[in-house]
Amino acid sequence: GESVGLHLPTLSVQEGDNSIINCAYSNSASDYFIWYKQESGKGPQFIIDIRSNMDKRQGQRVTVLLNKTVKHLSLQIAATQPGDSAVYFCAENTGGFKTIFGAGTRLFVKA
């Protein structure tokens, strides 16, 4: 069945280091992928997205990589800051309304 999963439930990084959060998806028909950030007490917020015709997209301090061959998605955060501490979700959809969310990875940033 369709699923979007994350390799690690928690990730701890030192402030200033780069963070990499991974995600696996199983629906080869998915053509749009999104990363959301959820801070404590708040709803998920859009970080960055990527379409299936791309393999890399960069934002401010964040980069998303898509490997369709192995159905893998990753979020890279450069120079991780305390404010980056949150739960990060990957999500996929097939161009319609239906979005499938992963369980999330909690990122801890150590000062």
Give the footprint of another protein on this chain (CB under 8 A).
4, 9, 32, 34, 36, 41-46, 49, 51, 89, 93, 95-104
Buried b / exposed e across 42-62, counting CB within 10 Å, b at 16+? eebeebbebebeeeeeeeeeb
CA 30 to chain centre: 15
Minimum distance between the CB of residue 17 and another protein, rounded to whole angstroms?
26
Nearer to another protein, 29 or 79 (CB): 29
CB of 22 to another protein, least distance (A): 15
| Least Cβ distance, residue 104 to another protein (angstroms) | 7
> Toward another protein, which CB reaches closer, 3 or 18?
3
Task: Write phi, then psi, for 34 (nearest 5 degrees).
Answer: -135, 145
Closest by Cα among 38, 105, 109 to 73 = 105
